[in-house]
Homo-oligomer: A and B are copies of this chain.
Amino acid sequence: VPTHVFLNSAVVPVGRARISVLDRGLLYGDGLFETLRTYGGKPFALRAHLERLRTSARLLGIRVPARPWERDIAALLRRNRLHARDAWVRITLTRGPARPGLLPPARTQPTVIMTAGAVDPGLVTAQRRGATVVLLPFARRGFLAEHKVLDYLPGMLGKVIAASHSAFEALYVDSDGYVTEGTTCNLFVCRRGQLLTPPAVEILPGVTRRLVLALAAADGLRIVERRLRVADVRSAAEAFLTSSVAEVVPIVRLGKRRLGTGKVGECTRHVQASYRQLVDKMVNQRSTI
């Protein structure tokens, strides 16, 4: 459990970090979030995350407060003794407290919360040896699935199902039989020298997904953005997950069945190496992605 969180303008002990029960983030899910990685105390791709936050906030009509984000994050990490470690930071933005009623008032004082934690050491094992994923009988749908809104109930249920199968992640399958994304990751498949991933429609357009696509294009990989059927995933030579926190995690088992050879393949290793290079480069130069 974190000892300190950032609330609106300052880092405070978690026991004193309290918000009004009339906060619209709580009552209506009226808010957004971003989760990013820090490497040795430096946030990675902060600019890309803030850009996505601002785009979604514009849609919802929520003002994003001007903050010295890097300094706030540094203070939060220091107070949690995470500044020298690999950690994650979550930025939560809500419309703030208001008089009850679904229609939001014209002006509110948004709530900003930042939480942080150490990256789970089990993740390194998953990155090296590959992970098991399971398929879910449901998906997130609609245009709001493209925004990192507070509501994560489908993801919560997905994680419960994944945990009950000792799986690392669960993949959504929509009612048309397409595998859309994981609960907190995007999905890629390697097939016949091509890198395939679902288009960023009715899925979360991940920052890491975008970076992996750019790196793969630069490396001369053939990229196809198209919807993936369950059979496309089952018959893939390789598949992997991407997210800011998990980076690139190979999928080696789909439920009880092996995916491909059941070992981490060449295409995935290549993407992992390119991503690692980018991280190292950006962190050493102070990231401006």
Q: Chain A interface (Cβ within 8 Å of chain B)?
A: 1-2, 5, 7, 14, 17-23, 25-30, 33, 60-61, 90, 92, 94, 99-100, 102-104, 113, 115, 117, 138-144, 149-157, 159-160, 163, 183-184
List the B residue with the shortest CB-CB distance to A28.
B152
Q: Is the CB of B26 within 8 A of A19?
A: yes
Shortest CB–CB separation between residue A287 and chain B, in angstroms? 23
Given A17-B20, A19-B26; 14 other pairs, CB 8 A cutoff: A5-B21, A7-B21, A14-B20, A17-B21, A26-B94, A27-B90, A28-B155, A29-B150, A102-B152, A102-B184, A104-B156, A139-B142, A149-B151, A151-B151
Q: Is the CB of B115 within 8 A of A21?
A: yes
The listed residue (B22, B143, B160) touching A104 by CB distance below 8 A is B160
The listed residue (B20, B26, B115, B140) touching A150 by CB distance below 8 A is B26
Q: Which residues on the B side are within 8 Å of A117 (C-beta)?
A: 100
Q: Is the CB of B102 within 8 A of A155?
A: yes
Tell me the bound Cα distance from A22 to B21 in angstroms. 13
Tell me the bound Cα distance from A76 to B170 in angstroms. 42
Q: Which residues on the B side are within 8 Å of A156 (C-beta)?
A: 28, 30, 60, 102-104
